[in-house]
Every structure is written in C-alpha cells, then in structure tokens.
Amino acid sequence: MIRFHCIQHVPFETPGNIQIWAKEKGHSLSYTHIYNNEELPAINDFDVLIIMGGPMSIHDEKEFSWLKREKEFIKAAIQENKKLLGICLGSQLIADALGAKVYNNKEKEIGFMPIDFTEAALKSNWFGGFNTEEIVFHWHGETFDLPEGATLLASTEACRNQAYSVGNNILAFQFHLEVTPGIVKDMVKHEGHELIAADYIHSAEKILSELHYLERNKKILFSLLDKFV
C-alpha cells in the first residue's frame, strides 16, 4: 500500500478520479483541507504528495496566509525525495518551490481543448502509448518557467509549459485529468465569472456539452498513476 496525501485548496476541487484510482488499487489517501487552516502532516507520514488546483494565485499570500507554510512544506517534501504530483495551482506551487517564475499567461485557457505531448513525453515510460494530441480539460490563467532540470512534457497553442517532470519523483501539469462531471459542474458554478468570451475560453454551455471527453481523460490519468508510483 502506498500512502498518498492530498492538499486541497477549495472544497470543490477534489482529487476526483485520483481518489477512485487509489481506492481501486488499495492505497490510502489522507487530506489537508488547507483552506480551513488544517495542519499539514509530518513528512514521514506519506509517500506521495498530491497538490490540487484552486482559483487563487501562488502570489496571494496576503489573502491566503496558509500559502506561505504550504510552500515551505512542498520544499521540505522535495528535499526528502518524496514523490509529488501537482495539478494546475499545484504545478505552479512546485515550480515556485524549485525556483522558477510563476506569472500570468497571455491567455486564459478554460474548457476542453487539445494538448500536444512532446517527443520526450511520448518516449518516456509514463506517457508511452498515448496519442500525440489529446483533448483535456483546462482552467488556468497563470503559467510558469520550466524549473531547472525539468523536462517539458506537453504544450498547447496558448500556453507552452503545460506539463513537466523532474527526475522520477515530480510530475506536474496545468490541465485537469482528475476531474469528474460533478467537479466540472462545481467549477462552472463557483468560478463561472471567469467565463468571459475569448479565444481560449469556452462558454458554460459548451463545457457542459463536452463532458464525454472525461472518460478518456480518466483512462489517461489511471495509466499515468500506475506508472508514476
């Protein structure tokens, strides 16, 4: 059994399909709902750290004071050679912990849109057998420079640095493979004010009409998790 620990930043962005996968595989999954100022675990109490998404920026420490201790915790987990999986905000927090810049992307990406995996990704053990292009769910407005020593795994037309790995212990992506139909509906409900017409922002109606893509996203995620851990 592998011990997973999840840091959750808002009630509605849960680990979703990750939780389903962990239960099927017989792994444990514990949580810190950090938005409630819950305590973080001891480093020795988990094997893999999952850092979820959220509508806030990594720079919003004045509004979300817990961000500072979360950043220190992520650095400690990296130093202890824990495996880390970062999703959206989580990928940005890991990039920051590794010394990379995090900043506003020129475009927000919200909706089901294609992503292109790099040659390095498709040659790796983790992504081998995937299609060069997949349709995945996006909801992000910030991006990051690649951390030193990182391998770029995926890009889109609007955002070059969509996914990266560092060695065998860190895997991070901006897009959301973990979401279920219920999570997408909750994101539209709670963050729908961001759905302002733009080149890479889809309407709520379009997003909710394309939930069928999630089944393929779930299969990709399960394959990745099997290989990553």
Count the helix, strand and coil residues of the chain and give each as a percent rounded to the nearest 5. Answer: 35, 30, 35
Residues whose CB falls within 8 Å of the CB of residue 77, separated by 6 or more in sequence, listed in order = 43, 49, 84
Kind of pairing between the strands at 163-166 and 83-87: unpaired
Residues whose CB falls within 8 Å of the CB of residue 117, separated by 6 or more in sequence, listed in order = 127, 130, 131, 132, 133, 134, 153, 154
Which pLDDT value is given to residue 129? 77
Which pLDDT value is given to residue 122? 93
**0.95 exceeded by the pTM?**
yes
Q: Which two tokens stand for residue 221?
A: 């995620």
Regions of the chain with pLDDT less than 70: none
Q: What does the pLDDT look like over 151-186, one tens digit per residue?
A: 999 999 999 999 999 999 999 999 999 999 999 999
What domains can be seen in the chain, in order of their start residue? Answer: 3-228 (3.40.50.880)
